[in-house]
Structure 1
Amino acid sequence: MHTLTNNRMKFGAVAAFAVMLAAASGYAQKVSADLSQEVTSVGEAVQLNISVTGATGARVPGQLKVNGLQIDFAGRSEQINIINFQKTVSSVYTYLIVPLKTGDFTIPPIEVLINGQKYKTAPLALRVGASSGGFAGGQGQQGRARSPQSQMQAQMQALMQFMNQGVQPPQPQQIQPGQQSQGRQPSGDDDAEPAYGDLIIPKTSAYVGEVIPVEIRFYFNANYPTQLRDQPTFGGDGFTVMDFSKPTQREQEINGVPYNVVIFQTAITAVKSGPLEIPPAKIEGRIQVPARGSSQDDFFNGFFGGQGFGMTARDMTVSTKPSKIDIKPLPKEDRPDDFSGAIGQFSLDAKATPKKVDAGEPITLSVKVAGRGNFGAITAPTLLDAENWRSYPPNEKFTPSASDPIGYNGEKVFEYTIVARSDATLTPTPEFSFFDPAVEKYVTLKASPIAVVARGSSNATQTTTAQATSSPTPQAATPPPAAPASPETASDLVTSFRRGAFQPTLTNPTFLIVNGVAALALLGLLALGVLRAVANSEASQRAARLREVRRTLHAAEDPNKSAEEFFALAAEFVQGRLSIAGGQGSTRDMLESSKVSEETRTAIYALLNQADEARYAATHGTSLDREARHTYIQQLKKFDAQV
């Protein structure tokens, strides 16, 4: 027992050590990169952080090269966490990015070397626009704005100072609408602007219908407690505005003054061509400032009303400067016929499930449009080579990208229900056209058709009845005629009988005729009884099935049935009625070979198409008024009488 216990303890220790090693190796694989913000303006620095969890001594590039961006390594910091007696080390490698020009930039994957093994981060996207008001010039402080180079140097020095001291930079105060920041003690920069706004648009020109990302920033002097009341007001004539994202916040020092920066993201879409005037974005709040006497600064006297001493709270409205964009019309040249207004950069993909179906069974064809652009204007792609298929309006679902707070990036999936008319081996070909503003051209994408095995309704396998091959009935054996007795034999018989006077009964012709007629009569009676019994049984079964099918038609007459329920009952009635009439195969095959008039056949075909659309189409809630329902019922009754 003692030996067993020791062995168990040793095994447990080894297992625990193995788990710790596995956990450590798992942590070492956690390498990620992120930006402090995804939209900025020329000259305003953005922080790029590479996080390595569970490992130390990682090697990262000293400088990153992206045309139009200046990216320099700023330093490294470490954080140690102990959770459940397990130590985890996280290293953060920081770069400062200073945009040199406007545009959309992609920061490629960054290679990180850890213990001889290479890891790569995901690519990052950065949008750079021209600032509408400057870094400190939103409300008459243009003279205090710094150049991009001097601002980057100041931010670099501040960040290096924090890292050299071994402490983390201060976290921004969370100033959500309806909440209040605590502020700081006045620092002496009393002439610094208490609040201003900045409107950042990454484009100076765009097309009608194009989604234009917009970032609205409000800067609040961190020396004064501030409370925001609601989200910004933003809008105007000639464009629409998407819902604001959840606001984010950071702290930024401008000309030596600390500011809390509250950032809202949205997007606008122009609805007409020509110069587009974009009014200022505004936000309302309440700020606490030191009370001033009449001899103090005119700005505070005018804005805050002047108080004798202490702090005073004042309502305020912070605004950005207005902006302007040139909106161009979409070109008419080379516009595809199936273009429906999609503008952006997209990809197209398709898949089908299941890939093998019997006659009449549907296939779901999922077509995915992914990328970035005006997803709200994207309609269902066109299905080419679909003559052999019946298709119905698709379901659609949009899923935004996890990193995009405004729904500008993502994917939209359209799910078609298709049913083969005849045997098919390839699905229809999805086609999607859009306008790419980056290259200023129309683009048409086609997804490859998908190999399937679909049996069509016109070639449905019909149940065949095997014809039994009748084998010839063997005839009753006729006994050979008795050989005539020879004279010598006859002479030996009893002499009281005359030669040839005796004849057996079974060989008597009269006996054979009478009994044969009776046997035939009996067999006829038996066969007639069997046929009558079979006929009565089939007739009763058919009558019972007919009554059951007609109950379905009677249920469809209920005015309380929805349109979907009515069409489902009508299709069930048609299929059952044709089956009772001896039809085989799909409903449409049976209808095609039935004896109904051409007018009735056409009407029932139209009803079946309506039933399929109500069953498969994404747009449920099919309308069916009383008059149309009555017309369908009369057509079904006429069809019942003709079948």
Structure 2
Amino acid sequence: MAARHHSTTLLLVMICSLITATRGTHAQEVSVTYTGNQTWVDTPIQIQFTIENAEQIGDPVVPEQDGLEIEYLGVTNEFSQTSIINGVRSSKRTLSLSFSVNPIREGLFEIEPITIQVNGKPFSSSPITLTAIAPKNDGRVFVELTGPDRSVYMGESVNLTLGIWVEQYTAEEYGVEASESVSWQLVDLNQTDWGPFRETIQELVNNRQRPKGTVRARDGRIYFRYELQREVRPADIRELEQLTEVTVAVSYPTGVRRARSLFNSGLEFTGLIPLRVRADVGEIDITPLPEEGRPSDFRGAVGDFVVRASAKPVRVAAGDPITFSMLIGNVDENDSVLDTLRPPPLDQLEPLTRDFKIPTDPIAGTVDGNIKIFTQSIRPRDENVTEIPAIPFSFFDPDLETYRTLYTNPISIEVTPAEMLTSGDIVRSGNQEFNSAEPSVDGVSTDPVAELALVGANFPVDERLFSKKSISVGWGSYVILGAPPLAFLAGLALVARRRWRERNPDSIRARTAASRSLGVLRREQRPGEIGRQLRTYISDRSGRPSASITSSEAMRLAREAHTDPEVLMSLESLLRTTERSGYGGELEQDSELSTEAIRIIRALERCNWRSVGKVSS
């Protein structure tokens, strides 16, 4: 008996030991990788810590080094795996923590170790030697920014032209030359600082268009010149200087080779040099507006305008509101002038404030074509007011080089004295309501017996009906009486909802963005389509027009929605992965990517998309 008990105990100890050994199979592991030992100035490399089965990860210790900008990017990838073997369940969790190392000057660097605490133990990277090379343009790319060939006044419309010159690349060993369309693809749209041309290039991208290059010769070399135009209206010299800060990023090749992909048997560029070329700004002559002769009501309008005014209603009681509208038309038909156009200071015009009460709140105005409409509510002070006076609008005419003031026509109105409610009116009204036995103000008795005498000639009425103070109405009567109006209101609500949906397609797309994208991702595993669904979701959720956006623009919109930093890191990593797959012609399906995309979209649903702006790059 004792031997059997001893054997049973030994068997239990062996089973427990086996379970403990199985659970400890996946111990913590830390490995470090990096993308290379050589890079260009301002082109970062990445150092990545891959950590398995960590229960606790501390904040990293990042060294500060002269000439290097080292940034912790957070968790850029996360993977979990669970397996069950012979009834024993084991889990494995892998995290990737990334660091960006950007050399800001040319030279040879030794990156000092980066240390991370994992489960209370320090793990450090080994010292890494990094060579940073300054890219040399050598006349491959030129960027010029020019303005009008005449002097313009401050506040006047200025037409800017951006010219991008890209030298035609020739592969002599293969006897081929880069075409105009291929040369434009060398321009990095996301890394370029477009300045005032941001909206111009975004509009082209949304319409799947690009600027067309023309062949030009310069210093004995052949270039493709691409041109963008933009109309601006700077308020001062400093703003103009900021508008002309444009830096174009171009990845220029140093060689070609045969493509190694099964899906692409042509040539591909090699040895891309990341050039950043600042625009050479030509002379733009801006003349300040003259101080002499400037009207007191001048609010910065420059151009040629016409003014009109209207009021409704024109017959009111003293103190009642009148909607006064002032229409300012732009004769030159420049779109930018109306965006910043300000109305006259109505609350400071003595002829108007003398007879009318004017709010002091600023008026925004509404642009309709080449007209801007300003609307204000004004109230006549008394019945002696007979008209809304002429309202001045002052502006500077650059063609005549002088200030001009136009006036609206006076508007005749009829104002009656305001009705006053006396205390006697209030008393009589109260008696009428609570003392039904007394005569009404019209001298007609409201006594029930008197009413019976009036109606008795028409049909017999039982006097007992008047003795009852209330009549009991059942639920059935309420349903019968209430059903028609409720059905009518329901119909009105459906019509209003349908009309709202027709007028607000962007809002509908924003509300349904998650369900549509998640539905596609649950059955989609192609990396390229997964990336497109992420960008489409962010575009729809931020209420943008239906158009494709770039990964860079998707990241900007996500940041504006106050997305959690860890979610941002995951989003950027996934977008990069899907883009690399698309560029390499990779068609292999990956269920892990779709699972990660679904997780990211669910996290993005908790963001504040109402705070997102409408411009992309």
The bucket for the TM-score relative to the shorter chain is 0.3 to 0.5
TM-score, with normalisation over the residues of structure 2? Answer: 0.34
Larger Rg: 1
